[in-house]
Amino acid sequence: MRALLTDAARTLVPPRADRHGPLPPLMLTLTLVTGIVDAVSYLGLGHVFVANMTGNVVFLGFALTGAQGLSASASLVSLAVFLTGALAGGRLATRLVAHRGRLLAVATGVQTVLFGAAAATAAAADGRVTTGVEYALIVLLGLAMGLQNAVARRLGVPDMTTTVLTLTLTGLAADSTPAGGAAPRPGRRILSVLAMFLGALIGALLVLHTHLAAALGLALLLLLVTALVTHHVSTADAHWAPPTS
């Protein structure tokens, strides 16, 4: 328990000499955003994901069999725009990978613009999610989440993918002491799971009891704060800035 709490504390408030500097808490914030966004897409846009592509692939298979409440076209569009966002994120990372802080700052800045457009679209619709609004939001949010996933991959912070928890959960069990493992980074892994859960919970509450625009506005605020903080801490001589490999 002490090791878990110590690791969680180091994730939330990294020591000055930590190899990844302030990246872990910033990426936890992005994980929170992912939970909110998937609540918006699944509950508000017709049972489709814009961040969880594993779920989307499964939904596509279900939809093609004629399963009710699922749209093959929505899943295909989401997959396509996610991959486009990931491609853009890969190109951005190639240009900025020498300084991980600047890479994250630029990426979250772009996400902020995309989420701003999504929030404005939802607000203008005033609760009426027509087919046009649905697909506009899928495109904007899918591009943003593809970008986030690609950049998180290039940042290389262990157990901080920000969008996928299957391997994180597997690691918690498979690397645990009862399994004969060394149980590395248990606090960080649990915090990642909790961040996604909390984002999904808050996002669902906002979607079901207020408005899509409220959930998207919260995600927008979190991204804006992440972008500004990352820009502030990304000094040229930051010891954590160089890539991990």
Nearest one of 144, 83, 87 to 118, comparing CA atoms? 144
* H-helix or E-strand spanning residue 156: none
**CB-count burial class (<10 Å; 0-12, 13-18, 19+) for 32:** buried
Global pTM reads: 0.93
Q: Is residue 234's pLDDT more than 70?
A: yes
Nearest one of 7, 23, 44 to 162, comparing CA atoms? 23
Q: Is residue 3's pLDDT more than 80?
A: no
Predicted pLDDT of residue 181: 65
- CA 130, CA 196: separation in Å to the nearest integer? 28
Which pLDDT tens digit goes with each residue over 134-186? 999 999 999 999 999 999 999 999 888 898 787 777 777 777 777 766 656 77
Which pLDDT tens digit goes with each residue over 95-145? 998 999 999 999 999 999 999 999 999 999 987 889 999 999 999 999 999
The sign of the CA dihedral 19, 22, 25, 28 is: negative
Predicted pLDDT of residue 44: 94
**Intra-chain end-to-end CA distance of the chain, in Å:** 31
The alpha carbon of 214 is separated from its chain's Cα centroid by a whole number of angstroms, namely 18
